Amino acid sequence: MATKKRTTPSIQELEKGILSGDRSALARAITLTESTRSSDKVKSISLLKKLLPNTGHSIRIGITGVPGVGKSTFIEAFGQMLTREGRKVGVLTIDPTSQKTKGSILGDKTRMENLSRDPNVFIRPSPSALALGGVTDHTREAILLCEAAGYDVILIETVGVGQSETIVRGMVDFFLLLVLAGAGDELQGIKKGIMEMADGIVVTKADGDNVKGAQQAKGDALQALHFQQPSQSGWKTKVLTTSSIENKGISEVWKVIEDYQSHADKSGYLEENRRKQQEQWLEEIIEQKFHEQMGNRVIAKMRSQLLKEVRNNKVLPLEAAEQFWKHITRHW
């Protein structure tokens, strides 16, 4: 029997599906936003605009930490706790390593197996082979789509190995850093800046023989934070210990996030931060488009031609730059 080709749903169908919480409509809408076809771009913008009034009501949480720190196990325990409380949880993962390694650290299908079976959870790994910039603006779109589909807690997971943490920090309300006890900052690749970005730090695997070490690590982190400049939000970074496998400390993490939310809500920081993030989003897209244009064949050819002329002292760099800008502005 011939298989019927899946027809592409219309914008109206996607909108209706998303608003009714249909996960497959949500998945297809995210796929649409990831498409590089310009007709799809037009469609996804129109869909997002329609859905915009239904977005923004979730708490957006970034979660980072080195591979093996226990991110997915934590998200399983944390997500299940939240759905037990009647919440709907969206999990978006960004894996900057997947492009290089072909296999991705976060992409493993067995991750978060229990959580993925929960009807109130939507898990979406990032498209693998995209440039970081590309991944991020799609993640922002995915956040909005999840919110429109009724997800009230959005977790954005990323591996703490690259610049992705900074990018994720720029799209969430609360940023959670997971660390291992006794592994040493260097080993965990924790650059000073990451700790400064965190609103909460969780020492994972605080169970069995590890309990004492975890407490020690918590003390060390608190001490390190003591010397840190206060954050813009006026919030003091909290440090906790958890055991995801023993389900300990998990609801305490949520409590901290709720405290943060009410603190930042009252002070107006939450809203102001989101406004700034909107601006940042635009800046990123403009920059990305600019880089794409620079890679354009005609421009690249012009550039290499001018480089050659400059190298051979045929033209001054200043003059070449003038010619270059004249050329590309005409080209645009």
Binding segment (CB under 6 A) for ligand GDP, from list 44-52, 61-69, 187-195, 323-331: 61-69
Give the C-alpha separation, 209 to 226, whole Å: 28
Kindly tell me which of 69 and 89 has the beta carbon lying closer to ligand GDP.
Answer: 69
Residue 169 interacting with ligand GDP (CB under 6 A): no
Residue 69 interacting with ligand GDP (CB under 6 A): yes
Tell me which residue has tokens 């749903």. 9
Residue 243 interacting with ligand GDP (CB under 6 A): yes
Task: Give backbone dihedrals phi and psi of 71, rounded to 5 degrees, phi first.
Answer: -65, -50
Contact with ligand GDP (CB under 6 A) among 33, 58, 72, 97:
72
Question: Which CA distances in Å does 316 have to 303, 309, 329?
Answer: 14, 8, 20
Residue 70 interacting with ligand GDP (CB under 6 A): yes
Give the C-alpha separation, 260 to 151, whole Å: 19
3-state secondary structure of 192: helix
Could you tell me whether strands 238-241 and 200-203 are parallel, antiparallel, or unpaired per DSSP bridges? Answer: parallel
- Kindly identify the residues of this chain, within the stretch 188-227, that bind ligand GDP according to CB under 6 A: 204-205, 207
Could you tell me the smallest distance in angstroms from the CB atom of residue 212 to ligand GDP?
14
Tell me which residue has tokens 């270059």. 324
Give the C-alpha separation, 138 to 34, whole Å: 6
Contact with ligand GDP (CB under 6 A) among 71, 88, 140, 218:
71
Could you tell me the smallest distance in angstroms from the CB atom of residue 105 to ligand GDP?
7
Phi-psi region of 21 (alpha: psi -120 to 50; beta: other; left: phi over 0): left
Q: Residue 276: how many CB atoms within 10 A of its CB?
A: 12
Residue 164 interacting with ligand GDP (CB under 6 A): no
Give the C-alpha separation, 65 to 158, whole Å: 7
Kindly tell me which of 169 and 205 has the beta carbon lying closer to ligand GDP.
Answer: 205
Residue 73 interacting with ligand GDP (CB under 6 A): yes
Kindly determine how many residues on this chain lie close enough to bind ligand GDP according to the rule CB under 6 A.
14
Residue 67 interacting with ligand GDP (CB under 6 A): yes
Residue 252 interacting with ligand GDP (CB under 6 A): no
Binding segment (CB under 6 A) for ligand GDP, from list 56-64, 133-141, 222-230, 243-251: 243-251
Residue 96 interacting with ligand GDP (CB under 6 A): no
Task: Give backbone dihedrals phi and psi of 109, rounded to 5 degrees, phi first.
Answer: -65, -25
Binding region for ligand GDP (CB under 6 A): 65, 67-73, 204-205, 207, 243-245
